[in-house]
Amino acid sequence: MASTTAKPATGKLGIMVVGLGAVSTTFITGVLMARKGLAKPVGSTTQYDRIRVGRGENKKYLKVDEIVSMPKLDDIVFAAWDVYPDNAYESAIHAEVLKKEDIEPVRDELLAIKPLKAAFDHNYAKRLDGDNVKQCATRWDMVEQLREDIRRFKAESGAERIVVLWAASTEIYVAPDMKYHGTLATLEQAMKDNETAYIAPSMCYAYAALQEDAPFIMGAPNTTVDIPAMWELADQKKLPIAGKDFKTGQTLVKSGFAPIIGTRMLGLSGWFSTNILGNRDGLVLDEPANFRTKEVSKLSTLESILVAEKQPDLYTNYFHKVRINYYPPRNDNKEGWDNIDIFGWMGYPMQIKINFLCRDSILAAPLCLDLCLLIDLAHRAGRYGTQRFLSFFLKSPMHDYTKDEVPVNHLFQQYVMLKNAIREMGGYEADEEID
């Protein structure tokens, strides 16, 4: 929906993170270190990017916080839920993403972040077996306990506003079922009836957040807020939602490289993507039902960029395959390998191979910061419902599939959407078009 100019970012912003693993502790530690001047928030659009506003003689390039009112890093307070009882310091050490010397200067602040008991169902992540878990009679009871957590944290921290961010593992795939997910009323009834096969724990987090005036971000490929019932609740509460799945390694490459093939009018025969990953996310994704959720997310990117209906000579019947392999020796250092079979003039074949040796949490951490700050901005600007401008940061952007909407996956078109939204919320003209 159209926004108005955003209200000022006054007071503290509370960020409540679901999951206190590698991604979350890297994010939190980086923010704490950056505000002490001991690290740089590299990779963060909100901290580094300059966006043009105005045209001609009025043109100028401004940082995001010069266009719109944004919280300072000092204004952020953190809380988390996790199935394991380790505090943020212990979890950061165990994650083995950051060097100890990059954690020790903020040790006391990390020690103070003790995870709340998680709303958890072992059937949704069979490879996780922590005991820091709520005892819930029903999914509705789960919701009520989460709402109480949010209220208590807001009161105790003095936060003026709260954002809830899912940075936990991928749940097993839950296909949208309109009998349970079609309306807010049917969703609530399913929670009360304890329909555990249709109501994932993540849905309880999202529902609780929205009921407590907190925007919700889905950083995994879970179905969660990508159902009409949640869209209805977001509209009713006038709250922004965003999802799904952080766009970090291979899909970032795909959403940026596929436009090269399309722009040069080259043909595509096949694109094979495989990953090796050894952290907790890799462990969970080694379960076929959990991988299915991720596969749906990763496969969706290419098909909306290189479209057969637009160029039948070039993009008809190409083969697209994605694989993720759990490989403990790599821990958080993920390797994404892409083999791309293309064809050119007169149909002659060529190949492209991309090998991205990335650090999953190092790429995800700035996305966590940007998503939290920007969804808070959207809330202050009166925007609600699915925030499509945040698709720049997300692997499988939410869209209204009930109306056959096609999501924008083209990285540079997503960047235009992002810049236009920031301009608009800063009172400037949203003056770039997507061709």
Give the CATH number for residue 23. Answer: 3.40.50.720
Question: So what's the pLDDT on residue 1?
Answer: 46
Q: Which residues of 117-132 are buried (b: 16+ CB within 10 A; e: fewer)?
A: bbbbbeebbeebebeb
Instruction: Using alpha carbons, select from 277, 376, 357 the residue that is nearest to residue 324.
Output: 277
Are 155 and 293 members of one domain? Answer: no
Kindly state whether residue 281 falls inside one of the protein's structural domains: yes
CA 170 – CA 367 distance, rounded (Å): 17
Kindly state whether residue 434 falls inside one of the protein's structural domains: no
Are 327 and 262 members of one domain? Answer: yes
In this predicted structure, the answer to whether residue 187 has a pLDDT above a threshold of 80 is: yes
Q: Which of 306, 326, 358 lies at the terminal end of a domain, its last residue?
A: 358
Are 389 and 349 members of one domain? Answer: no
Kindly state whether residue 134 falls inside one of the protein's structural domains: yes
Q: Which of 358, 378, 404 lies at the terminal end of a domain, its last residue?
A: 358
Q: 91, exposed or middle or buried, with CB in 10 Å at 0-12, 13-18, 19+?
A: buried
Are 317 and 172 members of one domain? Answer: no
Query: CA 259, 295, 246 angle in degrees (round to 5)?
Result: 65
Are 340 and 238 members of one domain? Answer: no
As a whole number, mean pLDDT of residues 58-76 equals: 97
Are 233 and 263 members of one domain? Answer: no
Q: Which of 358, 391, 415 lies at the terminal end of a domain, its last residue?
A: 358
Tens digits of per-residue pLDDT, 234-255? 999 999 999 999 999 888 999 9
- pLDDT-based confidence at residue 99 (cuts at 50, 70, 90): very high
Are 27 and 158 members of one domain? Answer: yes
Tens digits of per-residue pLDDT, 3-30? 578 999 999 999 999 999 999 999 999 9
At 38, phi and psi to the nearest 5?
-100, -5
Q: Residues near 164 by Cβ (< 8 Å), separated by ≥ 6?
A: 16, 17, 18, 150, 205, 206, 208, 209, 214, 215, 216, 217
* Residue 36: domain span: 12-246+362-425
Kindly state whether residue 7 falls inside one of the protein's structural domains: no
Question: Hey, is 237 helix, strand or coil?
Answer: helix
Tens digits of per-residue pLDDT, 271-324? 999 988 887 777 776 777 776 766 666 667 898 899 999 999 999 999 999 988
As a whole number, mean pLDDT of residues 410-431 equals: 97
Are 324 and 393 members of one domain? Answer: no
Question: So what's the pLDDT on residue 290?
Answer: 73
Q: Please state, rounded to an integer, the average pLDDT across all residues of the chain.
A: 94
Tens digits of per-residue pLDDT, 150-159? 999 999 999 9
At 14, phi and psi to the nearest 5?
-90, 125
Kindly state whether residue 26 falls inside one of the protein's structural domains: yes
Are 189 and 283 members of one domain? Answer: no
Q: What are 411-420's contacts with CB under 8 Å, separation 24+?
A: 411/252, 411/255, 411/256, 411/259, 412/256, 412/259, 414/255, 417/388, 417/389, 417/391, 417/392, 418/45, 418/389, 418/390, 418/392, 419/51, 419/52, 420/389
Give the CATH number for residue 263. Answer: 3.30.360.10
In this predicted structure, the answer to whether residue 2 has a pLDDT above a threshold of 50 is: no
Q: Which residues pair with 50 in a beta bridge?
A: 63
Are 343 and 386 members of one domain? Answer: no
Q: 105, exposed or middle or buried, with CB in 10 Å at 0-12, 13-18, 19+?
A: middle
Question: So what's the pLDDT on residue 213?
Answer: 98
Kindly state whether residue 4 falls inside one of the protein's structural domains: no
Kindly state whether residue 433 falls inside one of the protein's structural domains: no
Given a contact cutoff of 8 angstroms between Cβ atoms, the answer to whether 217 and 371 are in contact is yes
Domain count of the fold of the chain? 2
Question: So what's the pLDDT on residue 277?
Answer: 84
Kindly state whether residue 431 falls inside one of the protein's structural domains: no
Question: So what's the pLDDT on residue 291?
Answer: 66
* DSSP codes, 268-297: EEEEEEEEEE-SHHHHHHTSHHHHHHHHHH
Are 45 and 172 members of one domain? Answer: yes
Specify the pTM. Answer: 0.94
Are 269 and 344 members of one domain? Answer: yes
